[in-house]
């Protein structure tokens, strides 16, 4: 099994410096793209690869790039922004790449910026990822000293300035337009779309925002081709995927596997199954903003379409496992507390609705639930759903709540009926 994303990561050892990275084929994609391919050809190769965004939405990457205006008449400068603000609860895959192979990130930025004709790139890193930021900054400095960044890279006529920007925080910065607003020095609030960032993004100029894992696939696609990349997958979506698991499993962690690997294999083989004495009740397959799946879904392929058909989303592909000794209402209350705390406060449904759901869940968990509470929670899953709020923050928060009400309704009813939490007695 090929693991292109993590092949250079050595557990317990520092990442490769630029000399070591070049010895294993590093920056060959930059040389190939700049010397033998046009920006349009790079974009088409990524389109043909069927690479989809790994940040949660799963939008086709090459198609996203194709929306950027090109040619001499296009507005300048253009920007490429890497979304490394990894604040989705239960998600740690981008940190693995940033800390373990920072030169892959830098090379991915160069090739991707060339594809969209961007002159400036930013890597927007979560503030808590200090080690990741240090390693990426060091890699960028080494790349610039080698002539891979700056003016007239490798005498190709292409120039690129790369900046590492440490975020001031807030989960909402993971939303691409809120990220752009924050990068401009303003309060992180999402923007109305259209216009989309590809046409009017950072400082009103054409901009592309992509996730860390997404872009780290690009050098491998350019080096080995779209057909090879599609062949890595077990399903219709190209490539490999870094899957992860947290919770009461024997081996929590992250693993690079073929896209479409069955959920059962990830949970039982790679994560080692449930800890002794615990049983699986459910899991969030792609971070906190995805809907619950249960033991009945273990044979679902972990790709975008299959997980959606099962009633959830692939999201980041990093699952949070719920065991039979953890109160599902308590887990949901904890998640909704996070989402309520991280609301930017821009729109009323999100600003007021999320704290309301948190208060109801807290009351049910503490034995103060009332007969009408479930109806009110169900109302919130509708009123805060997709298309009812300014951005996808509140709808994401409603995904675990809506599915939790469906899969664990008996637990909700027992809490309200007995005025107690069985997991606390």
The pLDDT, as a whole number, for residue 168 is 86
**SS3 (DSSP) at 336:** helix
The tokens describing 284, both together, are 């969030």
**80-90 per-position pLDDT tens digit:** 999 999 999 98
Measured in Å, how far apart are the chain's first and last C-alpha atoms? Answer: 47
**286-327 per-position pLDDT tens digit:** 999 999 999 999 999 999 999 999 999 999 999 999 999 999
Contact between residue 319 and residue 241 where contact means Cβ atoms under 8 Å apart = no
The boundaries of every CATH 3.10.20.600 domain in the chain are 242-323
- Residue 78: count of CB within 10 angstroms of its CB: 23
The boundaries of every CATH 3.40.50.11540 domain in the chain are 18-231
State the pTM of this model: 0.94
CATH number of 328-424: 1.20.1440.230
Mean pLDDT of the chain: 95
The pLDDT, as a whole number, for residue 425 is 63
Domain 242-323, classified CATH 3.30.420.40, yes or no: no
> Cα separation of 187 and 410, whole Å?
42
CA dist 38 → 157, 165, 296, 336, 387 (Å): 12, 29, 48, 47, 39
> Cα separation of 57 and 286, whole Å?
11
Q: In what order do the strands lie in the sheet with 120-125?
A: 161-166, 120-125, 79-84, 207-211
Burial tier of 366 (Cβ tally within 10 Å: 0-12, 13-18, 19+): middle
The boundaries of every CATH 1.20.1440.230 domain in the chain are 328-424
The pLDDT, as a whole number, for residue 312 is 96
Intervals of the chain under pLDDT 70:
425
What are the E-state strand segments in 160-223? 161-166, 207-211
CATH number of 18-231: 3.40.50.11540
């Amino acid at each position: 099994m090929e693991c292109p994303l993590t092949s250079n990561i050595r557990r317990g050892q520092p990442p490769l410096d630029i000399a070591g990275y070049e010895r294993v084929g590093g920056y060959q994609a930059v040389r190939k793209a700049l010397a033998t391919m046009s920006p349009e050809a790079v974009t088409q190769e990524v389109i043909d690869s069927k690479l989809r965004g790994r940040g949660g939405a799963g939008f086709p990457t090459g198609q996203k790039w194709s929306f950027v205006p090109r040619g001499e008449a296009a507005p300048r400068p253009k920007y490429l922004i890497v979304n490394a603000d990894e604040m989705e609860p239960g998600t740690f895959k981008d940190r693995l790449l940033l800390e373990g192979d920072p030169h892959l990130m830098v090379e991915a930025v160069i090739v991707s910026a060339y594809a969209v004709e961007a002159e400036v790139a930013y890597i927007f890193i979560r503030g808590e990822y200090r080690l990741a930021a240090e390693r990426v900054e060091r890699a960028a400095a080494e790349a610039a000293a080698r002539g891979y960044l700056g003016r007239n890279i490798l005498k190709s006529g292409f120039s690129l300035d790369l900046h590492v920007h440490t975020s001031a925080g807030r989960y909402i910065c993971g939303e691409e337009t809120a990220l752009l607003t924050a990068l401009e020095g303003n309060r992180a609030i999402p923007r109305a779309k259209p216009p989309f960032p590809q046409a009017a993004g950072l400082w009103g100029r054409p901009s592309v925002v992509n996730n860390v894992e997404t872009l780290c696939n690009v050098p491998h696609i350019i080096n080995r081709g779209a057909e090879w990349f599609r062949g890595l997958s077990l399903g219709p979506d190209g490539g490999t995927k870094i899957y992860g698991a947290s919770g009461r499993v024997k081996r929590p962690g992250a693993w690079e596997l073929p896209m479409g690997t069955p959920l059962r294999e990830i949970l039982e083989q790679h994560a080692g199954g449930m800890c002794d004495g615990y049983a699986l009740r459910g899991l969030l397959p792609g971070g906190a903003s995805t809907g619950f799946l249960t033991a009945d879904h273990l044979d679902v392929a972990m790709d975008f379409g299959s997980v959606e058909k099962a009633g959830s989303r692939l999201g980041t592909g990093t699952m949070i496992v719920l065991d039979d000794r953890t109160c599902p209402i308590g887990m949901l209350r904890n998640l909704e507390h996070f989402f309520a705390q991280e609301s930017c406060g821009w729109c009323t449904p999100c600003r007021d609705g999320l704290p309301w759901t948190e208060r109801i869940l807290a009351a049910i968990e503490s034995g103060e639930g009332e007969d009408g509470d479930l109806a009110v929670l169900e109302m919130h899953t509708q009123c805060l759903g997709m298309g009812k709020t300014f951005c996808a923050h509140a709808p994401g928060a409603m995904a675990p709540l809506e599915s939790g009400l469906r899969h664990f309704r008996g637990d909700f009813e027992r809490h309200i009926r007995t005025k107690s939490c069985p997991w606390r007695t």
